[in-house]
Amino acid sequence: MRDSPEQAGDPAYPNAGIFDFAARAARSVASAQSALRLAATKEQRILRRFSLREACGYLGIERATLDIMLRHPDAPTPVAPDSNAPTQFMQDPTLSASDLMTLRAIADSANPAEAPARPFWRGADQPPVTICFSSQKGGSGKSIAASNLAIAAALSYGMRVAVIDADPQATASLYFATDRMAVANAEAATFVRFMGVDGPKDPLVDHDGLALDQFWQATPWPGLRLLPGGAEIQEADIALHFLAARGELREHPIHRILRDALGRWIKAHPATVRADDLRDATGRLDRTALAQGMSETVDLIVIDCAPSLSISQLNAVVASDMLVVPQTMRGFDLSTLEIYLGSLAAYGDVLRTLDRGTAFAPLPSYILPTIVSSQSDTDMRHVAELYVADPEIVCPVFYGRSEAVANAAEDYMSIYEYAPPKSRRTSASAFLANANAVAEAVLSRAFADFPIRGYANAFIRERLPEGMPLWTREV
């Protein structure tokens, strides 16, 4: 905390050295190589195409069924990507993510072979489910788990998904950002402005349900929208403090502002189109219904939190129906987990007394072990100990440590977008299977009648000791 000699004694520049360093280092980091790779990914993100084999995996159907579906008069035509496309499938015919959505829309619900491809959309009387990824520990895999879950829901089940990046670091946003989006810059409005919190001097803005729709940004993944993270989230707690001090939070108590705003947005954006409305009486695709269904609402809201439990982050937890706590399994990490859960429980006690009208989180919540090393006895022992202590609080379908994560992250891509070179295909497809298993494990507890494909059970059979109960009913 020592001032430089010139500035010592100048009250306008306490610790100028630190701030000069921050400004200078920020400029260098921005110009470094990794920033250039991010720029390249942002430009090309939309170009990821899927081989017909991958398409079958995401649609949950056999190749013979896909071939029949591709003969439908409204089916997309698989094409070989042009030679500039950044994928490895240069000669093979491929489909885009929106082609997959078109195939879902024309899939015949009466045909058992095609039925798994149908979009898993909520009905008019079912609310969307909000799942929050939060933990105190930094770098525990929250953003990867949240982003993978969101993409898996959209790509594998055709769900309409909203991602709220509640972290000033904006890590999850970078998995979705393109150069056409305002992400992690001054124009990007975050969930803080969605809540109506503009600044410490401004009043709380009570955006109505229609106005709230303007905040979402479309991403290249069909049906997947984003409220990006950004620096203003850091300032939210200060603004909230002043709003409360001025007595402006009577209608929306300080912990419930996001929940109330999401409630208004959901109410103004009901689910009117059903998956069955996407084909007309003759079985042809109704493109208007598809466009409306894809944009009118969401089925799932995924929130990626910052590694802390501030008032703005508490808003994310309170807004959710289910909490997933991604957590590495080392001894020190587990003790931070205990502190985090203890604080959350203490907040919960206060909230339940203060806020009797609100039904908090009706769904089960889980600790999600992450970056678990299969080589480390300690990691597996800690997972086992947690599970034995209380099998209902830990998700036995966890994230193993994978080198594919680092490879994909070099290009700022999730595993669903990353097209690995040949030498890395084995590790990439193993991690993809892991991500699919975790997504199925979580979504199957979040939604009644979720279409089970057996990914979670396959994980349990492969990775866990014999006798471990399966997670979903057998298919």
Ligand X SMILES: Nc1ncnc2c1ncn2[C@@H]1O[C@H](COP(=O)(O)OP(=O)(O)OP(=O)(O)O)[C@@H](O)[C@H]1O
Q: Which is nearer to ligand X, 102 or 135 (CB)?
A: 135
From 436, 362, 445, select the one nearest 156 (Cα to Cα): 436
Helix (H, G, I), strand (E, B) or coil at 118: coil
Binding part of the chain for ligand X, among 29-37, 191-199, 288-296, 404-412 by CB under 6 A, reads: 404-412
Backbone angles phi, psi at 233, to 5 degrees: -65, -35
Q: Which is nearer to ligand X, 107 or 146 (CB)?
A: 146
Q: Per rule CB under 6 A, is residue 167 in the interface with ligand X?
A: yes
End-to-end CA separation in angstroms for the chain: 62
Q: How far is the CB of 143 from Mg ion (least distance, A)?
A: 3
The item of ligand X, Mg ion, none sharing an interface with residue 265, based on CB under 5 to 8 Å by kind, is none
Site string for ligand X, 298-337 (x = CB under 6 A): ---------x------------------------------
Q: Which is nearer to ligand X, 114 or 167 (CB)?
A: 167
Please state, in angstroms and rounded to a whole number, the distance separating the CA atoms of residues 340 and 343: 5
Q: How many residues are given for the chain?
A: 475
User: Of residues 45, 104, 137, 142, which one binds Mg ion by CB under 5 A?
Assistant: 142
Q: How far is the CB of 400 from ligand X (least distance, A)?
A: 6
Q: Per rule CB under 6 A, is residue 406 in the interface with ligand X?
A: yes
From 273, 271, 299, 297, select the one nearest 105 (Cα to Cα): 273
Q: Where are the alpha helices (DSSP H) in 329-454?
A: 331-354, 377-389, 403-410, 425-446
Q: Which is nearer to ligand X, 139 or 203 (CB)?
A: 139
Q: Per rule CB under 6 A, is residue 97 in the interface with ligand X?
A: no
User: Of residues 41, 130, 143, 407, which one binds ligand X by CB under 6 A?
Assistant: 143
Backbone angles phi, psi at 25, to 5 degrees: -65, -35
The item of Mg ion, ligand X, none sharing an interface with residue 365, based on CB under 5 to 8 Å by kind, is none
- CA 52 to chain centroid, in Å, comes to 25
Q: Per rule CB under 6 A, is residue 61 in the interface with ligand X?
A: no
Return the amino acid letter for 166.
Answer: A
Please state, in angstroms and rounded to a whole number, the distance separating the CA atoms of residues 390 and 392: 5
Q: Per rule CB under 5 A, is residue 143 in the interface with Mg ion?
A: yes
Q: Per rule CB under 6 A, is residue 165 in the interface with ligand X?
A: no
Please state, in angstroms and rounded to a whole number, the distance separating the CA atoms of residues 373 and 345: 29
Subset of residues 171 to 190 that bind Mg ion, contact rule: CB under 5 A: 171
The item of Mg ion, ligand X, none sharing an interface with residue 223, based on CB under 5 to 8 Å by kind, is none
Look up residue 5 and give its two tokens: 């000699």
153 sits in which H/E element: helix 142-157
Binding part of the chain for Mg ion, among 135-143, 211-219, 407-415, 424-432 by CB under 5 A, reads: 135-143
User: Of residues 163, 189, 368, 405, which one binds ligand X by CB under 6 A?
Assistant: 405
Q: Which is nearer to ligand X, 130 or 140 (CB)?
A: 140
Residue 393, C-beta contacts closer than 8 angstroms, at least 6 positions apart: 365, 366, 367, 386
Q: Per rule CB under 6 A, is residue 41 in the interface with ligand X?
A: no
Q: Which residue has the tokens 């950004």?
A: 230
Q: Which is nearer to ligand X, 169 or 219 (CB)?
A: 169
What one-character-per-residue DSSP string does 258-322 give?
Answer: HHHHHHHHHHHS-----GGGGB-TTS-B-HHHHHHHHHH--SEEEEEE-SS--HHHHHHHHT-SE
Q: Per rule CB under 6 A, is residue 402 in the interface with ligand X?
A: yes
Q: Which is nearer to ligand X, 271 or 405 (CB)?
A: 405
Angle at 95 between CA 92 and CA 100, to 5 degrees: 150
Binding part of the chain for ligand X, among 227-235, 403-411, 438-446, 463-471 by CB under 6 A, reads: 403-411
Q: How far is the CB of 281 from ligand X (least distance, A)?
A: 47
Size, binding site for ligand X by CB under 6 A = 19
Binding part of the chain for ligand X, among 141-149, 223-231, 415-423, 453-461 by CB under 6 A, reads: 141-149
User: Of residues 171, 313, 320, 472, which one binds ligand X by CB under 6 A?
Assistant: 171
Please state, in angstroms and rounded to a whole number, the distance separating the CA atoms of residues 24 and 275: 53
Please state, in angstroms and rounded to a whole number, the distance separating the CA atoms of residues 310 and 125: 33
19 sits in which H/E element: helix 16-31
Give yes or no for a contact between 301 and 447, defined as CB atoms under 8 angstroms apart.
Answer: no
Q: Per rule CB under 6 A, is residue 260 in the interface with ligand X?
A: no
Return the amino acid letter for 393.
Answer: I
Site string for ligand X, 407-446 (x = CB under 6 A): --x-------------------------------------
Q: Which residue has the tokens 């009901």?
A: 270
Q: Per rule CB under 6 A, is residue 140 in the interface with ligand X?
A: yes
- Interface with Mg ion (CB under 5 A): 142-143, 171
- Interface with ligand X (CB under 6 A): 138-144, 167, 169, 171, 307, 370-371, 399, 401-402, 405-406, 409
